[in-house]
Structure 1
Amino acid sequence: MEHTIYNQIVVPVVNFLTGYITKHLGYVISSSKHVAHLKNNLKDLENEKDNVRNKTDRNNREHKEIPDGVHDWVNDVEAFMKAVESISSEGYGCLNIKTRHQAGKNACEALQRIQLFIEENDKFEWKTTMMEQLKTKANNQKMFAYIVPVVIGETPDMRSIQNDIAVRLTGKQLLEKTESERADGLCKRFKNILEVKKKRILVTLDDVWPGKIELSKIGLTCPLPNGLKLLLTSRYSDICEQIAINAHSVHVEVNVLEKQEAEDFFFHNTNVSKEDTELYETGCEIVKRCGYLPLAIHIIGKHLRSKTQYLWKTTLLRLDANDPELNVQKTIKVSYDFIQPQVDKEVLLLCGLFPDDSNIQIEVLTRYAWGLNLFDGVSTLVDVRNRIRTCVRNLINANLLINNDDIVVCVKMHDLVRAFVLDVVSERDRSWIIKHGNVTQLARRDESCKRISLTCKGMFEFPKNFEYPNLSLLQLMNGDSSLEFPEDFYKNMKKLQVIAYYDMKSPLMIPRSLHCSTNLKSVEVIQSLSYLFEYI
């Protein structure tokens, strides 16, 4: 009987009391440790909150969906952080056991709440562009057996586009040599999947520019065959209308923000309330002149945050009251003009060397900056890397670069920002040459040119007597194996500091005259290594 009472009553009570006492003694003994741990975790939570805010701002700017519950999550986190501010200073060096116990207990409970916040944040499903949302939905509902995404852009590489489509359809590249033969090959592959395999196909064309794509060149016929659906996006309404008519499809207009929605978005970015009457009235007029376009509102709003009324009015005067589309470029210029430090501008311009929709590697920017000596007083590559990351972060905060959620070591540039950058670098004092389409009219000589970036696909040889005596950076991309370089290619490039080869298939891509470039500090060889070995 006594044994039963001991096992069923005494042991559980003792175990409970032991655990209870140990737990609460831990609050007292480890109070300082718990509070220190809380301070570190609060910093992590602050970073999580800032990251969510950045994603929310980006999605608002780019017409992307914001997950349900995000705004409530941010508000709850801010309220929580305000409530626990006092805990971080409690318990240190205090001899009062009750105070130490309360500080330790509060810190442990706060740590548990932080963990819940982080778990809630992990559950948010951040959507990307509207195009990608539709593709994801179609894929999840198994509406199509094949989904073929294609980005067109301002300077499309038709050979690459055709090959990408072929690989998506059959896993094999096209062997045909001419553009028309490759188009016929694609048409046959589409026909085989639709008619023989009886499978449905979705083709998505993103960022379509005027005169840059014909459906026949990617193997599609008009009207579209049964079982094939085409989804395309473009800033140019007439393109969508024309293709919709030819393909017997529907044209859907995506409108700008509503007036109230646009104003709320702007004042969220500027952190200005209606109580600040003068700034509020000026801000409403700025939003109107931005044409209620999310990108323009977001860029100008971030720029004006915490700025004086004088700067708000100056910004308003710089925007045209009658041309909202022109004002998009003007808002980018306003943001660009006020970039500090100046070297951030140089990093932004370097990003313009890459083609549309590129994943721009931060490490590549680091090596370019190292080779070009962009930073004064910096003697190691590690220091340059840290400075570049700071520049990139500043440009992201200014909404001139975009975080790449899929590839964290890369950034992207909105096509409107890139268009602005290309205008800047084409000015007389810079005279950069950036060609990712037609390179047939490349000049043989240009003494003012400082940077060159070329996509070499389709080129057979570089012109002889290629003279760019003040060139400091040369970036060559996507050269075919048949591309030949003159032996004296680098002879008249004695100031060259950086050379970059991307997917260059020519074994002669490093001519013997390279030794003439005595200032050379950085050579980047990316996806071209096997061909470099052929030269060596």
Structure 2
Amino acid sequence: KCQYSLAKEIARKTTKMIQLNRDSKFEPFSTIIEPPGMKYYSSNNFFMFKSTEASYNKLLEILKNKSVSMIGLVGLGGSGKTTLAKEVGKKAEEMKLFHKVVITTVSQPLNIKRIRDDIIDQLSLELKEESDIGRAHRLSQRLRENTTLLILDDVWEKLNFEDLGIPFDEIPFDESYKACCILITTRSKEVFTSMPCQSIIELNLLSDKEAWTLFTHYAIITDVSSEALKGVARKIINECKGLPIAIVTVASTLKGKTIEDFELALSRLENPKPLNIPKGLISPYVCLELSYTNLTNQLAQSFLLLCSMFPEDYEIDLEDLFRFGRGFCIFGMFGTMENARREMHEAIDILKSCFLLMEAGKKKKVKMHDLVRDVALWIASKSGHTIFTRTEVDQGVLKNDEIMKDTKALALWDKKGYDFLNYKINCPKLEILLLFSSEGGLKVLDACSQSLEKLKTLIINPMLKRDRLFLPESMKSLKNLRTLCLRNQNLGDISFVERLQALEILDLHDSSLEYFPVEIVELKNLKLLDLFQCELEKSILGYKVYEVVGKCLQLEELYLYFVNYEVDFPYDVSFSKLQRYDIVNTNSFDLRRTRAMKKYALSRSYVTVENFISSSIKDPFIRAEFLHLTNL
């Protein structure tokens, strides 16, 4: 009777709740916190020289003119266009010339969707439309409502504003469309010939006095420095030809060095070997090469070249860089993964201090200036270790033995779905092969992999998980392979990993497997295993996943989470050598993800346990300096 009464009460209240929900007309009262805008960008490295100030003031005056819809800022790569555009945007925002200031990098190849989504994100728009045309129309509507300054940085070709969702092309000079003003930065004036740019500002190179001020700041040359050193410094500055990026990078690498180091740098600048350098860029190339040569940390040099493998303006994830670099064998042969990671971070800090790398917008990511990337690729090429990286490439180029014979790293980005590498690539020196697809469905045939005996790193990463990935037999027996990264893949049977005896890193993040690869126990050199967010299609009787992993005693890093494996994590599995780990457990009794163990920092062992019974408590708990237990 009691249960019957409760059931009736629940039914009555449910009906009442449905009625209230139908009749209520509450308006949303929460608002999204807008991004910080141009205040986000630091001005610490901005120098307001007279030459810069002239362009700065001209741009601000033009922005005050409501009849101007498009402005162009042109200058050499590395002349400071992006920095100046950001400073102008900050000032325009501060002066309230526009309701909103947005900056996005265009770069090449042109990616309309990414640019449009970047603008939408900075405007804090919540769009229900999923189609490109729907999102473009909605963005265009928003840009008509309030005044907006759009800074489109690093433009290389004519832009279709209609596809972007920018209300400009329809009636370019009609007053009703002045709500949106566009500031374009580019290296070439030819870009403006195909677009109705009403005013073009040219950013000049630095004068001798300005170049001296900039150089002495970064090289830390003071009044007490010797006259002899100052004399050599002036000659070095003369070789930099007034280009800010060349001056800053050269000066940074000479900071604290002796006069002998300065003289050696000058000698290299005065006697370059300018092979295959684009016209007009000999001086910047030679200066940036000197910055590379002056790096006393060989690991920093290697990572700079490795970073050039990524596309222009790409935000490089440092963990990816570590895993790819480990396979590239640019670390020491001995030592732990954690020590190697520390060495990498030290090298990256050196590169950032010399302005050869920059902080990216997101934490733990870096990016390269386009000119630095070009020089790094040039350095790699002339040293006989070519890095071939393309977003779009003709098959004929890959088949050309003369082009590919010295290639050490091959990175093909944004390959279209179901592309076949069904031809032999003659790359006897190839150590890194990276295939990235925005659509999924990449396939590699045996003919492609017959000359890859020296391959140490293989990365295949589609954005979409489609058909099953079939690797050719020759790729399943690569004796020198150290890093295998097959993310977001439908892998099927991967028992072949047993043959990859040199493997140190196995990264199958977010992939589906036919069954758990018990063969990993045979990989005695395996140090990092990433099976996070993986899915098992089948289970085999007679063994348990965690018990198999527990037999990999040499593992130093483990990232483990099977989304459909409903077995409790055992408390008696020993992981005595683990330095970093993230182990998540999902069981049939509690469908929530429970993080059994997590630790990312060596200096402070941090273990979070939400379900004490299902946690490994032997070695990690004994070593923990900080222990947090909940829901016991």
TM-score range normalised by the length of the shorter chain: 0.5 to 0.7
Q: In the TM superposition, what is the alpha-carbon distance from 1:350 to its structure 2 partner?
A: 0.6
1:490-511, Cα deviation, whole Å (9 max, x unpaired): 5553432222344532434742
Q: Which residue of 1 aligns with 2:366?
A: 411
The answer to whether the aligner puts 1:284 opposite 2:234 as a matched pair is yes
| Aligned residue runs from structure 1 range 489-508, under 5 A | 490=449, 492-508=451-467
- Structure with the largest fraction of helix: 1
Cα separation, 1, equivalents of 2:304 and 2:289:
12
Which amino acid in structure 2 is aligned with residue 474 of structure 1? L
Q: Which residue of 1 aligns with 2:110?
A: 156
* Secondary structure of 1:426's aligned partner: helix
Q: In the TM superposition, what is the alpha-carbon distance from 1:207 to its structure 2 partner?
A: 1.1
Cα separation, 2, equivalents of 1:61 and 1:516:
58
From 200, 203, 206, the equivalent of 1:254 is 203
CA contact (8 A) 2:463 2:488 kept: yes
| Aligned residue runs from structure 1 range 298-317, under 5 A | 298-317=248-267
* Secondary structure of 1:434's aligned partner: strand
Cα separation, 1, equivalents of 2:297 and 2:459:
26
Mean CA deviation greater in 385-394 or 133-142: 133-142
| Aligned residue runs from structure 1 range 275-424, under 5 A | 276-319=226-269, 325-404=281-360, 406-424=361-379
Q: Which residue of 1 aligns with 2:217?
A: 268
| Aligned residue runs from structure 1 range 64-213, under 5 A | 129-136=83-90, 149-161=103-115, 164=118, 171=127, 175=131, 188-189=137-138, 191-193=140-142, 198-209=145-156, 211=157, 213=159
Q: Which residue of 2 aligns with 1:452?
A: 410
* Secondary structure of 1:334's aligned partner: helix
Q: Kindly indicate whether structure 1 or structure 2 has the higher relative contact order, using CA contacts under 8 Å at least 6 residues apart.
A: 1
From 153, 178, 190, the equivalent of 1:226 is 178
CA contact (8 A) 2:411 2:433 kept: yes
Q: Which residue of 2 aligns with 1:430?
A: 385
The answer to whether the aligner puts 1:519 opposite 2:519 as a matched pair is no
- Structure with the largest fraction of strand: 2
Unaligned runs of 5+ in 1: 1-54, 66-127, 177-181
* Secondary structure of 2:309's aligned partner: coil
Q: Mark the CA change 1:129 to 1:466 in structure 2 (over 3 Å): closer, same or farther.
A: same
Q: Mark the CA change 1:374 to 1:315 in structure 2 (over 3 Å): closer, same or farther.
A: closer
Q: Mark the CA change 1:272 to 1:138 in structure 2 (over 3 Å): closer, same or farther.
A: closer
Q: Which residue of 2 aligns with 1:532?
A: 511
Which amino acid in structure 1 is aligned with residue 239 of structure 2? R
Q: Which residue of 1 aligns with 2:419?
A: 461
Q: Mark the CA change 1:493 to 1:135 in structure 2 (over 3 Å): closer, same or farther.
A: same
Normalization by structure 2: what TM-score? 0.55
Cα separation, 1, equivalents of 2:444 and 2:116:
27
1:262-310, Cα deviation, whole Å (9 max, x unpaired): 2122123223335522222332233233232222111121233343434
Cα separation, 2, equivalents of 1:389 and 1:64:
34
* Secondary structure of 1:236's aligned partner: coil
Cα separation, 2, equivalents of 1:509 and 1:255:
54
Q: Mark the CA change 1:346 to 1:61 in structure 2 (over 3 Å): closer, same or farther.
A: farther
Q: In the TM superposition, what is the alpha-carbon distance from 1:412 to its structure 2 partner?
A: 1.9
CA contact (8 A) 2:443 2:470 kept: no
Q: Which residue of 2 aligns with 1:52?
A: none
1:83-119, Cα deviation, whole Å (9 max, x unpaired): xxxxxxxxxxxxxxxxxxxxxxxxxxxxxxxxxxxxx
Cα separation, 1, equivalents of 2:158 and 2:299:
35
Q: Mark the CA change 1:302 to 1:269 in structure 2 (over 3 Å): closer, same or farther.
A: same
1:33-65, Cα deviation, whole Å (9 max, x unpaired): xxxxxxxxxxxxxxxxxxxxxx88744599999
Cα separation, 2, equivalents of 1:306 and 1:199:
51
Count residues with an aligned counterpart.
Answer: 405
Cα separation, 1, equivalents of 2:396 and 2:96:
47
Q: In the TM superposition, what is the alpha-carbon distance from 1:318 to its structure 2 partner?
A: 4.2
* Secondary structure of 1:511's aligned partner: coil
CA contact (8 A) 2:443 2:471 kept: no
Mean CA deviation greater in 304-313 or 382-391: 304-313
Q: In the TM superposition, what is the alpha-carbon distance from 1:419 to its structure 2 partner?
A: 0.9
* Secondary structure of 1:399's aligned partner: coil
Q: In the TM superposition, what is the alpha-carbon distance from 1:441 to its structure 2 partner?
A: 4.2
* Secondary structure of 2:398's aligned partner: coil
Cα separation, 1, equivalents of 2:126 and 2:397:
37
Root-mean-square deviation (Å): 3.9
CA contact (8 A) 2:420 2:444 kept: yes
CA contact (8 A) 2:487 2:510 kept: no
Cα separation, 1, equivalents of 2:243 and 2:430:
38
Mean CA deviation greater in 269-278 or 485-494: 485-494
CA contact (8 A) 1:164 1:173 kept: no
Cα separation, 2, equivalents of 1:64 and 1:260:
13
